[in-house]
Each structure stands twice: as structure tokens, then as C-alpha cells.
């Protein structure tokens, strides 16, 4: 089950245009350290939100309500059968510990094209990833 979830997330990431998003969170950490498993995939949407949402929908992910969250413009997409999930953060990311709001343009500026790989699945994906010291 974990392998299926991870493979699905990585394969879906490969379908999202590289210039439209920045990978943050657990899957981004896998670029810099030995891979670890992450429950969901966090991406900052820089542009073309509707296109990213369309790609996720075409892959069978359903948008679910996020309720009361500090992220404000936050979209969650889940796939029940594999329990795969994507969190789309739009315009900014709010640090849970400090409450600092980081604009997506700053995240984009402090990111670069990198290869990420799963812990279980050998799928490799090249996309824009946040620089470790800033946003992971």
C-alpha cells in the first residue's frame, strides 16, 4: 500500500508542469537526504492553479473541503483507494510554528530544478524544489 501511494504521487508529479509548482515538505526533503516516507505531497502553486487541479482530477484525485486552516488558500486532493494526497498552497505558505507568511514568489526564487525519488518506489521526478535551508 505504501509503495502504491508513493509511486502514484511521484508519477502524478511528473505530469504537472515544472514551472507551475515548487515542491516543499517531505517529498522535497528526499532530494537532500536519504528518502523518507511522507503522508502527503505539499506543493506551492506558482501559476496555472486550474491546470494543476485538472491534472489531479484526471488522475482520479478528488478535491475535499479543508475546513478551518491557517493556510487560507489551501486545496487538498485525495484518492481514497491508495490514500494518496496532494496539498496545494496558493500565493503563500504560513509557517505552523511562527505564523510567518512566506510569499510564493520568494519560495520560487529560492528553489531550483532537482530530482526527487521515493523511499520505496524507484520513480524519479525532476521538478522545482525548495532549497533545503529555506522551506523544508
Using left for φ > 0, alpha for ψ between -120 and 50, and beta otherwise, residue 72 falls in left
Give Cα 123 distance to the centre of its chain: 16
Span 81-120, pLDDT tens digits: 888 999 999 988 887 788 888 899 999 999 999 988 777 7
Model confidence, pTM: 0.88
CA dihedral (86, 21, 44, 116) positive or negative? positive
Number of structural domains, the chain? 1
Q: Which three cell numbers stand for residue 84?
A: 494518496
Instruction: Note down the domain range covering 110.
Output: 2-135
pLDDT at 117: 77
pLDDT in tens, 14-71: 999 999 999 998 888 888 887 777 788 999 999 999 999 999 999 999 999 886 665 5
The C-alpha atoms of residue 95 and residue 81 are separated, in whole angstroms, by: 30
Q: What CATH number corresponds to the domain at position 62?
A: 3.30.460
Amino acid at each position: 500500500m505504501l509503495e502504491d501511494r508513493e509511486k502514484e504521487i511521484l508519477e502524478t508529479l511528473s505530469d504537472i508542469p515544472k514551472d507551475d509548482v515548487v515542491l516543499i515538505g517531505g517529498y522535497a526533503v528526499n532530494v537532500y537526504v536519504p528518502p523518507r516516507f511522507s503522508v502527503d505531497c505539499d506543493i506551492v502553486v506558482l501559476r496555472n492553479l486550474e491546470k494543476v487541479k485538472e491534472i489531479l482530477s484526471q488522475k482520479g484525485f478528488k478535491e475535499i473541503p479543508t475546513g478551518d486552516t491557517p493556510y487560507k488558500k489551501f486545496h487538498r486532493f485525495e484518492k481514497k483507494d491508495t490514500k494518496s494526497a496532494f496539498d496545494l498552497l496558493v500565493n503563500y505558505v504560513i509557517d505552523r510554528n511562527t505564523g510567518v507568511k512566506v510569499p510564493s514568489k520568494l519560495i520560487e526564487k529560492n528553489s531550483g530544478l532537482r530530482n526527487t525519488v521515493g523511499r520505496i518506489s524507484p520513480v524519479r521526478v525532476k521538478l522545482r524544489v525548495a532549497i533545503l535551508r529555506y522551506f523544508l
